[in-house]
Structure 1
Amino acid sequence: MAQLQVLLVTFPAQGHINPSLQFAKKLIGYGVHVTFMTAAAALNRMNKTSTVDGLSYASFSDGYDEGFKRGTVEPDHYMVEVKRCGSQSLRDFIAKSINQGTKFNCVVYCTLLPWVALVAREFQIPATFFWNQPASVLNVYYHSFKKGFEKVIKNGIEDSSVLMEFPGMPLLCRNDLPWFFINPNPFTMALPTFKEHFEVLDQEKTNPTVLVNSIDELEAEAMKAFENYNLVGIGPLIKNPSETSLGGVRVTKNEEGLVEGCEIKRCLELVMGGGERGEEIRKNAEKWKELTKEAAKENGSSDKNLKAFVDELSR
């Protein structure tokens, strides 16, 4: 049997590249050859000196192949360019690969790149969405864009005392929401892009598969809240904490929206201190450590789900 070939396309940012590489290594462990693709400028900055059997690299154009200085390109303009240039360069790459005898069994695409699935469909290649955040975060977006919870979220944002209820999740307050919902948000393109992800998934002829980071009971309940999607828990591959939390303690921003050093110091002292709160946080950290080990070991939940995903690709 020919070796399975997966093309893994990720957004050119560290918080996307790292979990994608971890996922690639997991797939390689099951005998899959993975072609890791990101924007040319990001790929050129990566350390690729240590070779990994079963892993190769490719790049797409985001319109800034030589890179750019942070702050010189508007995020909205960048997203337009990455879609326009990326779609064409991905299309060219897949066509060239086919001509050279490589037919990908699946294209896995990451957050902020819904257009990848559309290109894959042009070549009749199955596309799978890799959500590199917890399922509970995806749940909030899902109910916002698909289930009419916009008013619930709007009320929660306008009044910090309002508690919001989402199926499969505990009550949330304003600070528990993904920060893209909170103004001022410099990345205005993020929410429309997340909405586009759901639109692309809904175009699938069968229930689409979404790979998510999930290991505990809360995440399992959040996954049950989805209809018509096949959510597959493949965590723990990443640690992607909210920018407004630190070790179980919520940090407070100043009036400019920044977290000052003294605030970080306060949180660290609370976490590392000998008080009851610090002991509780460290106990929870140990619990997560054990859950991670259980999920990742052979026949753990992550291992079983990844094996099932690979087996499905070979059919």
Structure 2
Amino acid sequence: MKNHPHLLLVSQHAHGHLNPCIQLALNLIRAGARVTLATTVNGFHKLKSLPPHHNLSLASFSDGHDDEVNAAKTPGYVHDLRRVGSETLADLIHTFSQTGNKVTLLVFTLFLPWAAVVARELHLPSALLLIQTATSFSIYNRFFNSRDGIFVFNKQHFDPSISLKLPGLPLFTQRDLPTFALPTSPYFSDMSSVIQQHLEFLEQNPNTVVLVNTLDGLEPDSMASIPNAMVVGPLVSSSFRGIDRRSSLYYFQWLDSKPDKSVVFASFGSMAVLSETQKDELLHGLIESGRPFLLVLRDAGEDGKLINEKLGEQGLITDWCLQMEVLRHRAVGCFVTHCGWNSTLESMVAGVGVVGYPQFADQTTNAKMVEEVWGNGVRAEVDEGMVVRRGEIGRCLEVVMDGGERAEEIKKRVEKWKRVAEESAQDGGSSFVSLKLFVESIG
């Protein structure tokens, strides 16, 4: 099995984790591996809709909450995931061995450090997949490493005026840092512990390969700060594959009727929850811009239908869409986004400028990078109530889309990163070559 090693890729069940894992699995297969993608029992149904693929298998392990739809919000879930998941993942690996399908290497995603411990106890090599940016991970390292991590020693003395300077990057203030790294976050206790476990594992196993879902040259200094880091992005579904799932979907028919680069596409991912005030300001800001817009609101329901009737041809509200395909549509000229990393990377792949309105986690850091480092968009400013007002939405849209000097500069950066993404992802590109060498190095 030397030429076709069996990789077990372990992921959480959230779409933001599964989507890049699915693409990595397909890319690893292209590079010569056999892959089993495993997630929790609760999330396994999200994988069952995948079309059959040669050398790709699907599996599940238990987190102790197999029948709970929103188990991740249950108090103590992180502990249960580690305790039960460790046992059931080990059982899964043993089953593979007993059936003659021995796992050669385990790839574990960010926020599942216990999977690496399972692999080590079973004398199985492992690799870490970063589904956030190298920059976010560098910030985590500065805060939580066991040698001189800022918050390892100072959790109880948080200074809200904190700032951080990393090599080759602008100053990060509190509003720019991943919220998981801040004691003010309700997730700090759980997530800081999980991140520390990742860093401790890498410190104890310095030869572990770290696969990073980023672009070649996008984060050079942050990549250099992570030992054994390897660019494997963009892990974006169906990118550059010519896949067209649009058929008769009504919102594509609506997009087809609009001029090139004229439409504002606004979507906030599968996790972010906008307040009613924010929804109202967003909708009015889009309407007052005078530009055609497609707005995704997961809980739009009947209200969305009523608003659509009033909008006429200017706007369309839907509760779901094929995001990557929408971004690639010729009519889309701007993406208003929460700046989740998958969405940010998809905007680069599609070549669309960004208006960033981050909510939590690494989104704040991504929005900072979009505006001040990568130059492919702007970050919307919030008021004292943490709301982006309609006037600010209009201002941002003008900056990205009005054709002025700033818009032209953003357009140049957008085109640059789109070229880099295309070159990286194709056969013979940097990411494909890296993955092929990685697969060939597995014993």
TM-score of Structure 1 vs Structure 2, range by shorter chain: 0.7 to 0.9
Letter in 2 for 1:121: R
| Range with bigger deviation, 91-100 or 177-186 | 177-186
Are 1:193 and 2:322 counterparts?
Answer: no
Alpha-carbon contact 2:161-2:173 (below 8 Å) kept? no
1:294 paired residue number: 423
Identity %: 37
SS in 1 for 2:100: coil
Cα gap change, 1:72/1:243 in structure 2, threshold over 3 Å: closer, same or farther?
closer
1:243 paired residue number: 363
Residues in 1 aligned to 2:47 and 2:385: alpha-carbon distance in whole angstroms: 33
Q: Deviations over 1:17-72 (max 9, x none)?
A: 10111100100112211100011111123452511111111111112111234786
Residues in 2 aligned to 1:173 and 1:72: alpha-carbon distance in whole angstroms: 29
| Range with bigger deviation, 190-199 or 275-284 | 275-284
Cα gap change, 1:275/1:17 in structure 2, threshold over 3 Å: closer, same or farther?
same
Cα gap change, 1:41/1:255 in structure 2, threshold over 3 Å: closer, same or farther?
farther
Residues in 2 aligned to 1:27 and 1:286: alpha-carbon distance in whole angstroms: 27
Residues in 2 aligned to 1:221 and 1:174: alpha-carbon distance in whole angstroms: 21
Cα gap change, 1:296/1:140 in structure 2, threshold over 3 Å: closer, same or farther?
same
Letter in 2 for 1:15: G
2:11 paired residue number: 10
1:267 paired residue number: 396
Residues in 2 aligned to 1:148 and 1:69: alpha-carbon distance in whole angstroms: 36
Are 1:65 and 2:194 counterparts?
Answer: no
Letter in 2 for 1:296: A
Deviation at 1:254, TM superposition (A): 4.5
Q: TM-score, normalised by structure 1?
A: 0.87
SS in 2 for 1:237: coil
SS in 1 for 2:42: helix
2:20 paired residue number: 19
Alpha-carbon contact 2:212-2:231 (below 8 Å) kept? yes
Deviation at 1:216, TM superposition (A): 4.2
Deviation at 1:278, TM superposition (A): 2.2
Cα gap change, 1:71/1:42 in structure 2, threshold over 3 Å: closer, same or farther?
closer
Cα gap change, 1:182/1:121 in structure 2, threshold over 3 Å: closer, same or farther?
closer
| Range with bigger deviation, 119-128 or 63-72 | 63-72
1:283 paired residue number: 412
Q: CA RMSD in A?
A: 2.7
Q: Deviations over 1:159-193 (max 9, x none)?
A: 27x5x322353433333221223453121211211
1:232 paired residue number: 230
2:329 paired residue number: none
2:325 paired residue number: none
SS in 1 for 2:172: coil
Deviation at 1:303, TM superposition (A): 1.7
SS in 2 for 1:7: strand
Q: Deviations over 1:204-256 (max 9, x none)?
A: 2x522111123243512222224xx2111112225534534376211234545
Cα gap change, 1:222/1:102 in structure 2, threshold over 3 Å: closer, same or farther?
same
1:309 paired residue number: 438
Residues in 2 aligned to 1:14 and 1:157: alpha-carbon distance in whole angstroms: 34
Q: Deviations over 1:84-109 (max 9, x none)?
A: 11111101111111111111110000
Deviation at 1:15, TM superposition (A): 0.9
Alpha-carbon contact 1:168-1:225 (below 8 Å) kept? no
Alpha-carbon contact 2:140-2:195 (below 8 Å) kept? yes
Cα gap change, 1:296/1:49 in structure 2, threshold over 3 Å: closer, same or farther?
closer
Residues 1-315 of structure 1 aligned to structure 2 (within 5 Å): 1=1, 3-69=4-70, 73-74=74-75, 77-146=76-145, 148=148, 150=150, 158-159=160-161, 162=163, 164-182=164-182, 184-188=184-188, 189-204=190-205, 207-226=207-226, 229-238=227-236, 239-240=341-342, 241=344, 242-244=362-364, 245=367, 248-257=377-386, 259=388, 263-264=392-393, 266-313=395-442, 315=443
Residues in 2 aligned to 1:67 and 1:88: alpha-carbon distance in whole angstroms: 19
Residues in 1 aligned to 2:218 and 2:419: alpha-carbon distance in whole angstroms: 16
| Structure 1 unmatched runs, 5+ | none
Residues in 1 aligned to 2:24 and 2:402: alpha-carbon distance in whole angstroms: 35
Letter in 2 for 1:237: L
Aligned length: 306
Larger Rg: 2
Cα gap change, 1:311/1:12 in structure 2, threshold over 3 Å: closer, same or farther?
same
Letter in 2 for 1:29: R
Q: TM-score, normalised by structure 2?
A: 0.63
Residues in 2 aligned to 1:237 and 1:62: alpha-carbon distance in whole angstroms: 26
Cα gap change, 1:207/1:89 in structure 2, threshold over 3 Å: closer, same or farther?
same
Letter in 2 for 1:243: Q
Residues in 2 aligned to 1:260 and 1:194: alpha-carbon distance in whole angstroms: 34
Letter in 2 for 1:295: S
